[in-house]
Amino acid sequence: MLSILAGEMTVAEAVRRAKVFEQSVGTWKRRFLEPGRAGLAGTSGPSAREQQLEAQVADLTRALGEAAVELRVWKKSAEGRPGPSRTSR
């Protein structure tokens, strides 16, 4: 099969050597090439796992931003209040 794809052997020659029908060689060639095409088609975009991780990163980034805002609000509200007394320990 690789010899046919590399142009080192014709389909007719492969048929004679393997003593099979030309249709069989065509079927073998198609079965050999289909997984390669499918593999290359998957490289055009992120995988399902990558998409899942990107969504998780977005959620965590959003949560971190919300926590930072809450912390600022708490700090501002605590600025006017007196802190704990050092003698109360």
Q: What is the pLDDT of residues 25-77, one digit of tens each?
A: 888 888 888 888 777 776 667 778 989 999 999 999 999 999 999 999 999 98
- Give the range with max mean pLDDT: 14-18, 40-44, 52-56, 85-89: 52-56
* More reliable by pLDDT, 50 or 86: 50
Structure-token match 């046919």, residue found: 4
Q: What is the DSSP letter of 83?
A: -
Q: How confident is the model at residue 87 (pLDDT cuts 50, 70, 90)?
A: low
Q: What is the pLDDT of residue 57?
A: 97
pTM: 0.41
If 0-12 CB within 10 Å is exposed, 13-18 middle and 19+ buried, where does residue 15 land?
Answer: middle
**Rounded Cα–Cα distance for residues 9 and 15 (Å):** 10
